Amino acid sequence: MQLFDMPTASAVILHASHLSRGLGIALMCGLGLFMLGIAQAVRCNLVRTTHDFIIAHRRISLGFGVGSVISVWTWSMAVMLSSAEAFTWGTSGLMWFVVPNGLAVVALVPFAVYMRKRMPRGYTLIQFVRQRFQNELATMVMFLGVAFLLLSTVFINLFGVVLVTGVIFGLNKTLVLLLTLAIVMLYSYFGGLWTSTITATLAALLVSTPAAVVVLYVLYKVGGPHAVFSRVDRLGSRQFDLWRGDTAAQFGLSLGLGLIAVTICDQSFWQRIWGMRPQNLARTFVWAGWWFYPIPLCLGLLGLVALGAGVQPSDLGSFGAGGVGPYLVSHLGLPAVVICLYVLTVVTACYSAMDGAFSAISSLVAVDIIKRVVPDISEKKLFRLTKLSIPVAGLIGTVVVNSGIDYVSLVNFVFFVDIAFVVPVALAIFWPRYSSSAFIAALILAEAIGIPIRQEVSGLWGIIACLGTSTIVSVGVSLLSRERFDFGRLAEATSELSAVDPPPRPEPGVVPTDAPQTA
């Protein structure tokens, strides 16, 4: 028996493995039941109050922190897009997809550490903006940016499950959408951030380990990496050209810049930042970023295998290059258990990302809506309404994805819009002279300039315009003002959901002498 598989002369023969629809549904439901069991165990042992539900006692450990951050960032589309980009662009596509993804997580370290230091008892990014600027318009704009991003996370992950189950099992799109939403809403409802953290940590295992097993078997099945390498090499030098310029121009640069915006505006991350032990923050995000890399890198090999196997874009039908991973796995004659492991990887990635988004939405609802509208609400009612926000968010998701609108384009648009928030949020955290007027002006002008350029010229130039405008306006307007924010005021703010009474609010019309002047 040879240690390394040697190349064979025969070509790879592709034929469909006809797996039953029932198997696909069983996989989805089985995983859901398993996660529901975990959620129940978590709820019974760790969750009693709204505070427990949305911030996990601020006691998330290093292991659960690293595992859940990896998992929340491993979207189902990321699992399949890595194969797609390798199939389309060769190893340069894989590089431009994977590297910014991992970097975006590590780049959160200074934001996480400084925010936690300045606002140790926080819950949401919107709460930070509200206390930082004391300006309702700024708060509203931030809320919309964060809320739409969370809903977009739900949509894009739903698309991933539809894709994989459609290609492999031929499952009906509407059935998959409704089943996925129902499953994730059900177990998210029980346990909040603790459930999300612990199921996501399990999901990190269920995504990384099966991915390795599936890829190893696929490599064996096609004659080993030497055989694939030789076949792909014969297709032309560009497949293994890491530095090809067209990859960067066509999608690499815009994806890279866009991903940074997603992590900074993603309440799924901020919720964990405030839910973790502070000493673990830096290490959590560094480790999570580093150990996220291997997952899409490993699965990206499927794209190269597909190239070597002679898969053509026309074979992939309406799903396009995104379907290359599922197509390859279901057409190589792999054992059903290996195919199911691949499906498990994608479906788990979807469930964990959606669960993270639902948990984050519940924190927004509790802190930024309910407690603002009804500050004296009883803990019991608050807890009930907070949990209810999850099925409501799921219902919104159901309506949107079944409406027939092109929600993939909608998601891309929301990601673009959120790019305008990167510089303002960063400056709000680090620069005491950054004013509320600068924040609002930067966001409005960045969108007003960036969106038309995106429509008329290109996405990349739109991103550059957006970032450039938000930077120039943010710095310029702030320098014109003499405001200087005392970050110590954030640390004094009492936890909004704690048992301790909040400090008395100022009388209307009376401005505290040390408050910044608002726009």
Tell me which residues in 219-248 interact with another protein (CB under 8 A).
219-220, 225-226, 228-230, 240-242
The only residue of 10, 279, 409, 513 in contact with another protein, by rule CB under 8 A? 279
Specify the amino acid at residue 132: R
- Of residues 396 through 455, those in contact with another protein by CB under 8 A are none
The only residue of 87, 143, 169, 287 in contact with another protein, by rule CB under 8 A? 287
Does the protein bind another protein through residue 29 (CB under 8 A)?
A: no
Does the protein bind another protein through residue 65 (CB under 8 A)?
A: yes
Pick 5 or 315: Cβ nearer another protein: 5
The only residue of 149, 183, 202, 465 in contact with another protein, by rule CB under 8 A? 202
Residue 11's contacts (CB-CB under 8 Å, 6 or more residues apart) are: 309, 310
- Of residues 78 through 117, those in contact with another protein by CB under 8 A are 90-91, 94-95, 98-99, 102-103, 106-107, 109-110, 113-114, 116-117
The only residue of 277, 377, 444, 515 in contact with another protein, by rule CB under 8 A? 277
Does the protein bind another protein through residue 55 (CB under 8 A)?
A: yes
Contact predicate 13/230, CB 8 Å: no
Pick 304 or 460: Cβ nearer another protein: 304
Q: What pairs with residue 15 in β-bridges?
A: 332
Interface segment toward another protein; rule CB under 8 A; list 23-31, 317-325, 468-476, 490-498: 490-498
205's tokens:
């295992």
Task: Scan for tokens 């303002």, then name that residue.
Answer: 424
The only residue of 43, 58, 132, 454 in contact with another protein, by rule CB under 8 A? 58
Q: Which of 126, 103, 125, 268 is nearest to 197 (CA)?
A: 268
Q: Which of 211, 213, 193 is nearest to 201 (CA)?
A: 193
The only residue of 409, 499, 507, 512 in contact with another protein, by rule CB under 8 A? 499
The only residue of 24, 67, 303, 326 in contact with another protein, by rule CB under 8 A? 67
Q: Give me the least distance between CB of 370 and another protein, in Å please.
A: 17
Q: Give me the least distance between CB of 144 and another protein, in Å please.
A: 29
DSSP 3-state assignment of 60?
A: strand
Contact predicate 269/72, CB 8 Å: yes
Burial class (CB within 10 angstroms; exposed 0-12, middle 13-18, buried 19+) of 514: exposed
The only residue of 211, 422, 428, 441 in contact with another protein, by rule CB under 8 A? 211
Task: Scan for tokens 């502070």, then name that residue.
Answer: 278
Pick 141 or 340: Cβ nearer another protein: 340
Q: Give me the least distance between CB of 287 and another protein, in Å please.
A: 6
Integer Cα distance of 189 and 391 in angstroms? 8
Q: Give me the least distance between CB of 349 and another protein, in Å please.
A: 13
Does the protein bind another protein through residue 487 (CB under 8 A)?
A: no
Integer Cα distance of 219 and 206 in angstroms? 20
Does the protein bind another protein through residue 2 (CB under 8 A)?
A: yes
Pick 3 or 373: Cβ nearer another protein: 3
Site string for another protein, 295-314 (x = CB under 8 A): x-xx-xx--x----------
Interface segment toward another protein; rule CB under 8 A; list 25-33, 41-49, 130-138, 149-157: 41-49
Q: Give me the least distance between CB of 292 and another protein, in Å please.
A: 8
Does the protein bind another protein through residue 315 (CB under 8 A)?
A: no
Interface segment toward another protein; rule CB under 8 A; list 57-65, 133-141, 391-399, 473-481: 57-65
Between CA 264 and CA 273, with CA 267 as vertex, the angle to 5 degrees is: 80
Does the protein bind another protein through residue 209 (CB under 8 A)?
A: yes
Cβ neighbour number for residue 5 with a 10 Å cutoff: 16
Integer Cα distance of 284 and 198 in angstroms? 15
Burial class (CB within 10 angstroms; exposed 0-12, middle 13-18, buried 19+) of 237: exposed
Does the protein bind another protein through residue 61 (CB under 8 A)?
A: yes
| Torsion 6-12-13-14 (CA) sign | positive
The only residue of 178, 182, 253, 278 in contact with another protein, by rule CB under 8 A? 278
Q: Which of 386, 391, 368, 394 is nearest to 496 (CA)?
A: 368
Q: Give me the least distance between CB of 454 and another protein, in Å please.
A: 27
Burial per residue of 197-227, b for 16 or more beta-carbon CB atoms within 10 angstroms, e otherwise:
bbbbbbbbebbbebbeebbebbbebbbbbeb
Q: Give me the least distance between CB of 9 and another protein, in Å please.
A: 16
Contact predicate 454/406, CB 8 Å: no
Specify the amino acid at residue 489: R
Residue 509 has phi, psi (to 5 degrees) of: 85, -10
Q: Give me the least distance between CB of 57 and another protein, in Å please.
A: 6
DSSP 3-state assignment of 507?
A: coil
Does the protein bind another protein through residue 281 (CB under 8 A)?
A: yes
The only residue of 35, 46, 146, 427 in contact with another protein, by rule CB under 8 A? 46
Contact predicate 265/417, CB 8 Å: no
Q: Which of 191, 190, 204, 210 is nearest to 64 (CA)?
A: 204
- Of residues 119 through 178, those in contact with another protein by CB under 8 A are 120-121
